[in-house]
């Protein structure tokens, strides 16, 4: 009887041991979190669409046909959201930068509007193929004739005759670049919105009226309508760049 009982105990212990050693199934990794920063052009509190006419306080009408920005070092302290980013409102909409990360790492952000020297004057074919700074991606945001990147590109049309008849007969063109135009801007306590289980986004606003129609600093596009950042154009170039920086605010 003792022998039977002993065998029973051994079998039970062995069965119990086998259950404990049963391998667990594979652990499903947590989905990667993605953060998106958007730059939303706005006019009087509404989203601005290209070719939408703006009434200037100086008595004429104008509209934008192109808005582009090439920037670098979008960071929050040691956390980098994007080492470089290319904004093209006409082609990719409001997306400024996208990265794998958590919104808690980017409660604040600083970013460069432009590319700092010496990278600004380096060979644009050398950055990684996926980098916005590679010439294949930067495209017309790099000057071939004068080595360096265009930081901000603003183009559009102006009706120079305030007669009540739409006749947008004049182009305005601002290609802002060169080392003196480099700017840095900062945002604190950003408002992040949870879009899905894996994505969060925050909006920065580009206030279009502030670009040219800022009270006290109006730019009369009938007279000051172009700059390619030549030395003689630097006063106007710096003014437009300063107002571009001022026009970007958090939502």
Structure tokens at 127: 């950055």
Q: 108: which residues sit within 8 A by CB, 6+ positions away? A: 76, 77, 186, 187, 188, 189, 190
Instruction: Return the pLDDT at 23.
Output: 52
Residue ranges making up the domain that contains 106 = 30-250
Check residue 146 and give its pLDDT: 75
**Stretches in the chain below the pLDDT threshold 50:** 1-20, 27-28
Q: Which residues contact 162 (CB under 8 A, 6 or more apart)?
A: 59, 60, 61
Tell me how many domains the chain contains: 1
SS3 content of the chain, % helix, strand, coil (to 5): 25, 40, 40
Q: Residue 12 falls within a domain, yes or no?
A: no
What pTM did the predictor assign? 0.86
176 part of a folded domain: yes
Q: Is residue 5 part of a domain?
A: no
139 lies in some domain = yes
Domain for residue 183, yes or no? yes
| Strand, helix or coil for residue 237 | helix
CA distance 248 to 183: 12
Whether residue 164 lies inside any domain: the answer is yes
In a domain, 243, yes or no: yes
Residue 212 forms part of a structural domain: yes
């Amino acid at each position: 009887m003792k022998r039977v009982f002993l065998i029973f105990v051994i079998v039970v212990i062995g069965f119990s041991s086998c259950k404990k050693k049963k391998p667990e199934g594979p652990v499903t990794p947590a989905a990667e979190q993605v953060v998106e920063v958007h730059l939303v052009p706005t006019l009087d509190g509404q989203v601005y669409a290209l070719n939408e006419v703006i009434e200037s306080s100086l008595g004429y009408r104008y509209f934008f046909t192109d808005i582009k920005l090439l920037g670098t070092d979008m960071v929050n302290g040691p956390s980098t959201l994007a080492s470089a980013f290319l904004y093209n409102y006409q082609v990719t909409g409001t997306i400024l930068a996208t990265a794998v990360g958590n919104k808690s790492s980017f409660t604040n952000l600083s970013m460069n509007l432009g590319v700092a020297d010496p990278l600004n004057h380096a060979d644009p074919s050398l950055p990684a193929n996926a980098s916005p700074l590679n010439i294949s991606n930067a495209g017309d945001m790099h000057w071939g004739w004068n080595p360096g990147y265009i930081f901000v590109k603003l183009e559009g049309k102006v009706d120079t005759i305030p007669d009540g008849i739409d006749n947008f007969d004049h182009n305005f063109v601002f290609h802002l670049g060169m080392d003196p135009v480099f700017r840095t801007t900062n945002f604190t306590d950003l408002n992040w919105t949870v879009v899905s289980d894996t994505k969060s986004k925050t909006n920065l606003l580009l206030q279009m009226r502030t670009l040219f129609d800022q009270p006290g600093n109006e730019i009369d596009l009938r007279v000051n309508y172009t700059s390619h950042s030549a030395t003689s154009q630097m006063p106007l170039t710096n003014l437009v760049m300063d107002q571009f920086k001022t026009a970007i605010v958090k939502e």
